[in-house]
Chain A
Amino acid sequence: MHPARIPPLLAILALTACGGDAGPQAEQPSAGLVIGGEEAEVSALYQMPTPNELFGLVRQMAGEGHKRMLNPASHVDKYASLRARAINFGVYATDLVYASSFKLNVEVARYYLTSKKLAQSLGLDNAFSDADFVRLESNLTRGDSLEVISNEAYQRAYERMQQERMGPVLHMVLAGGWLESMHLVMRQIDAFGQSEALVARVAEQKVTLDHLLGMMEETKADPDVAEVYARLSALRSIYDQLEVRRAPHGGASPSGRMVLGEDMTVELTPEKYAELSKAVTDLRNEWIKPEGGTNS
């Protein structure tokens, strides 16, 4: 063979390597990660904030956490379908982060194990390790450490789903997590009393819901995701009825940093709040309802 023919062959082999058929799934590039190139159509990546960021903001104005608001851990064995397992992994992982944010220390341990169980059923074994549970147990009196350990576990699960091309599962997990965050903040309002600041946080979740649904566009052809997408879209239709007002920010930021973009107010009237609250409760009741089968 003439040396001059080597480069095209190399090119063919390189392209074959790009195809990624031979390697194990874990080593293949995620469609959602590769940017540019003819083979990669996705050039937009989406990230959802971890629940602790919202709970950190809510905690400042919402008093104590309440364990009765969490999805009962005893349900964990009763989610058999992939959709129920994925959604409720998102629910339980959010409950775990809520418990650690509000220093419900016994619940942190309980929901760590509960999340771990569903994580295993989704192939995310490494995200919730026994070593971390030991670490968590030894830090039960240190709320800040629990928050760090819980968030690390949540983040590992999230990253694992991205790396393993688990798009539909990831999106259902995030949907469950988003709904549980909404539920927890709204129930916090019930427990703590009507607070303008907390209601404003609920109103702003319009933005995160738009973001989540934008993210799910990529996988909504999946029948399970399609159903979840449709239910969340119905919730968004309530948000779409709210008036959104924008105005330039007046004055400087208290921190002295530049203010990015305009101020925005989403007008959530008591009637619309009640409608949204009912819709969130109904959907959550449906999603966390134990199924007939078992996953254990």
Chain B
Amino acid sequence: MTRNVIQLLAAAALLAAPFSPAKAQSECLTYHKFNCDRSRDARFSVNGQSRSALVKVGEETELNIIVYRGQDYRISVCHDSKILGEEVAIRLVEKLRTASDGEDGKRTYSETEKVLWDNTEHEMASEIEFSCTATKRIAVKVNAPGASDRKGKAADLDIGCVGILIEHMPTPGIGF
């Protein structure tokens, strides 16, 4: 019996290993480098704020970044569609620190959010290019619905890689 239990534990450990979030996370770290397509415009450089992470189906994840005035950016999102679904919802949200004066004359600050772009209004586009005319704090918010054939199955294990590739270039002028 004891030997059986040990064998079973060993087998279970082997089976469990591939599901280890630590392993999955380490495999996920460079996901954007190998799975998100670079822009065909060679003037874009990869931005150091690009990042990948494990994302759980149905839970919104956000990557907070800075975009500088005078730069053009391209943000593209790639993901493991087998787990997270064919398309993911993406929003670009500006984060603002706003002041308000209380009745006691004391000023307090809070963070407010303003949606600047939502891919559900743009045919679920997985990339966006834009010019930045003011330095901003942006949260790239991603929400994955999950693959339709996996719904209801082992929901706790429905985590997959999402990569957010950010590219930038100084805003080019047009014409002569």
Contact = CB atoms under 8 A, between A and B. Distances in A.
Interface of A: 1, 6, 9-10, 13-14, 16-18, 20, 23, 27-30, 33-37, 43-50, 53-54, 56-57, 60, 151, 154-155, 158-159, 163, 204, 207-208, 210-211, 214-215, 240, 249, 253-265
Contacts of A16: 16
B173 A47 contact: no
Interface in B1-51: 1, 4-5, 8-9, 12-13, 15-17, 19-23, 25-26, 28-29, 47-51
Contacts of B13: 13, 17
B134 A254 contact: no
A264 B134 contact: yes
A35 to B, nearest CB: 4
User: Contact size class for B?
Assistant: 35 or more
B116 A257 contact: no
B171 A255 contact: yes
Given A1-B4, A10-B16, A45 B66 contact: no
A33 B25 contact: yes
Contacts, number: 196
A17 B48 contact: no
Nearest to B46: A155
Contacts of A158: 48
B24 to A, nearest CB: 8
A34 B54 contact: yes
Interface of B: 1, 4-5, 8-9, 12-13, 15-17, 19-23, 25-26, 28-29, 47-51, 53-56, 59-73, 92, 94-95, 97, 99, 107, 109, 111, 114, 116-117, 129-139, 156, 159, 168, 170-174
Contacts of B20: 14, 17-18, 20
Nearest to B23: A27
A255 B174 contact: yes
Given A33-B25, A264-B135, A47 B49 contact: yes
Contacts of B25: 29-30, 33-34
B68 A54 contact: yes
B136 A49 contact: no
B136 A35 contact: no
B51 to A, nearest CB: 6
26 contacts: A1-B4, A9-B9, A14-B16, A17-B20, A17-B21, A18-B21, A28-B22, A29-B25, A35-B53, A35-B55, A36-B59, A37-B156, A44-B62, A45-B62, A47-B63, A47-B65, A49-B48, A53-B68, A155-B48, A163-B29, A204-B69, A240-B107, A260-B67, A260-B130, A260-B132, A262-B134
